[in-house]
C-alpha cells in the first residue's frame, strides 16, 4: 500500500441509495425490502428491542437491586481534605469546593464528614455535617454554617394546611 492509497474509497458523505430505479440499479422492484411480510409494507415501524415475538433480552435477564430515582445525590468531603487544600481563615462553601475539584459533578446536598485531622481555622458552609466533623471544625476554632436545602413537599403541605386552618 502506498501513502496516496490510504484514503482511497473513503468519502466524507456517502450518496443515498436510490431505490426503485429499475433492475440495472441493483435495487429495483422490491427496493431491498424482499417479498411480502410486515417489513415490506409502507409505514412499517418496529419498537426498540423487538425480537420477532421471541421474549426480548431485556425481559429474559433477571432483575436485581433497587434504584431510588427520587433519592438526593449527596457529595461528601472530609475534613482531612479541607486541611490539605485550604489556608487558615479561608471560607469553605460549595463554590470554593467546586473550584478545587472536591465536590465535582451534579449533586443535591453537600455533606462534610469527619475523616482526618483539622488544625486550620475555617468557616465551613454546607447542607449537612457529621457530628465528628462539627466537633473537629469547632475544636480548631472554625465555624459551621448550615445552608438550607430545598423545602421537602411534606413540609410545604403542612404549612399549607396550617395556613388554611387559621
Mean pLDDT of 105-133: 94
Indicate whether 166 pLDDT > 80: no
pTM over cut 0.85: no
Indicate whether 165 pLDDT > 90: no
Predicted pLDDT of residue 162: 80
Rounded to the nearest integer, the mean pLDDT of the chain is 91
Q: How far apart are CA 50 and CA 52, in angstroms?
A: 6
Indicate whether 157 pLDDT > 90: no
Secondary structure of the chain as H, E, C letters: CCHHHCCCCCCCCCCCCCCCCCHHHCCCCCCCCCCCCHHHCCCCCCCCCCCCCCCCHHHHCCCCCCCCCCCCCEEEEEHHHHHHHCCCCCEECHHHHHHCCCCCCCCCEEEEECCCCCCCCCEEEECEECHHHHHHHHHCCCEEEECCCCCCHHHHHHHHHHHHHC
Q: How far apart are CA 116 and CA 137, in angstroms?
A: 11
Q: How far apart are CA 139 and CA 119, in angstroms?
A: 8
Mean pLDDT of 10-19: 88
CATH of domain 74-146: 3.100.10.10
Model confidence band, residue 14 (pLDDT cutoffs 50, 70, 90): confident
Cell of 60: 429474559
Q: Which residue has the cell 457529621?
A: 130
Residues 6 or more apart whose CB falls under 8 angstroms from that of 136 comprise 79, 114, 117, 118
Predicted pLDDT of residue 9: 83
Cell of 10: 473513503
Mean pLDDT of 93-108: 93
Model confidence band, residue 149 (pLDDT cutoffs 50, 70, 90): confident
pLDDT in tens, 51-61: 989 999 999 99
pLDDT in tens, 75-99: 999 999 999 999 999 999 999 999 9
Amino acid at each position: 500500500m502506498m501513502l496516496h492509497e490510504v484514503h482511497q474509497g473513503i468519502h466524507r458523505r456517502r450518496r443515498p441509495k436510490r431505490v426503485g430505479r429499475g433492475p440495472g440499479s441493483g435495487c429495483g422492484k422490491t427496493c431491498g425490502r424482499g417479498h411480502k411480510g410486515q417489513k415490506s409494507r409502507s409505514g412499517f415501524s418496529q419498537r426498540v428491542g423487538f425480537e420477532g415475538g421471541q421474549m426480548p433480552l431485556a425481559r429474559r435477564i433477571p432483575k436485581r437491586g433497587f434504584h431510588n430515582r427520587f433519592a438526593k445525590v449527596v457529595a461528601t468531603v472530609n475534613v482531612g481534605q479541607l486541611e490539605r487544600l485550604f489556608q487558615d481563615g479561608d471560607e469553605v462553601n460549595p463554590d470554593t469546593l467546586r473550584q478545587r475539584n472536591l465536590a465535582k459533578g451534579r449533586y443535591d446536598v453537600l455533606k462534610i464528614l469527619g475523616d482526618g485531622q483539622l488544625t486550620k481555622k475555617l468557616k465551613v458552609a454546607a447542607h449537612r455535617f457529621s457530628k465528628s466533623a462539627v466537633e473537629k471544625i469547632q475544636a480548631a476554632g472554625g465555624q459551621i454554617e448550615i445552608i438550607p436545602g430545598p423545602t421537602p413537599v411534606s413540609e410545604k403541605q403542612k404549612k399549607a394546611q396550617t395556613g388554611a386552618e387559621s
